[in-house]
Amino acid sequence: MFIISDKNLLLNAQRNNYAVPAFNIHNLETTKVVIEAASELNSPVILAATPGTIRFSGIEYLINIMNTAAASTDIPIAFHLDHHEDINDIKKAIKLGCKSVMIDASALSYEENIAKVKEVVNFANRYDVSVEAELGKLVGQEDDITVSERDSQLTNPDLAVDFVKRTNIDSLAIAIGTAHGLYKKEPKLDYNRLKNINKLIKVPLVLHGASGLPDESVQKSIKLGITKVNIATELKIAFSDGVKEYFQNNPEANDPRKYLTPGKDKMKEVVRHKIMLCGSNDKKSLFN
């Protein structure tokens, strides 16, 4: 299947009461893990790349990896730029074929956030590309973006209405108490805030910071309106744990084909679990 924007993926999830998982990938190996797991479970999937991943692998390489991945399966796939702040980088990726982007201007003032998002939306519309933006600030670190507890801010439902109307975005990432990275203690999510936001706006809602979040919290969030769930840190931990375990048992190993395989296997377990958790398994048929 071709790479598509995540707009239709999320609208479908919204109509059918499930969420599409968005997995942060970094290279060929991690991309193949996600595609294999999603194909086995007949799940639509979003492959997300942060600015750090773009710098590491190169946008041209990643676009070609995504095109190859899409040609290898019949599941709906979206390639998504996650937490990008540089508009020029976003425009370059769009011109190369990226169909889904997130412009993260949440660190700016409200009006500056709106102005920067509108610029991206206006450009993306020329290429039929979907745009996600963020209102509110999640505590923790995502790639090169760090937000302290002091600077974190939950999403205001009334501002969310104004924000969506003025920017014309396709999906909105909201802050309801989740955090980037792993949790030191179980987070207390503001479900009433989520419920109110979902009642007030029609665009699909995105939950960032799902790594380490209890399964029950993810499922309840989906029931209350979340249609996209981002997973990053748990994938990296699983992959690295598999590689570390292999080297502990094989200290003289030097063949990447052998020591990367256990990392892929461990990561795949997490991907499969998150797909089932989001309820996106067997939803491929909804796109036929």
Q: Which segments are annotated as binding site for dihydroxyacetone phosphate?
A: 181, 209-211, 230-233
Mutual angle of helices 87-96 and 59-71, in 10-degree steps: 40
Give the other-Cβ count within 10 Å of 68's Cβ.
13
Give the SS3 label for residue 135.
strand
Question: Do 43 and 280 form a contact (C-beta atoms < 8 A)?
Answer: yes
Distance separating alpha carbons of residues 228 and 243, to the nearest angstrom: 29
DSSP percent split of the chain into helix, strand, coil, nearest 5 = 50, 20, 30
Q: Which of 6, 74, 82, 265 is catalytic?
A: 82
CA quadruple 20, 263, 138, 116: dihedral positive or negative? Answer: negative
If we measure between CA atoms, which residue out of 19, 64, 27, 67 comes closest to residue 43? 19
- Show binding-site residues: 83, 104, 134, 180-181, 208-211, 230-233
Give the SS3 label for residue 32.
helix
Distance separating alpha carbons of residues 278 and 118, to the nearest angstrom: 30
Q: What does the CA dihedral 84, 53, 144, 103 come to, rounded to 10 degrees?
A: 10
Active site residue 82: yes
- Show binding-site residues for Zn(2+): 83, 104, 134, 180, 208
Alpha carbons within 13 angstroms on the beta-carbon side of residue 115 total 6
Q: Which residues does the annotation mark as catalytic? A: 82
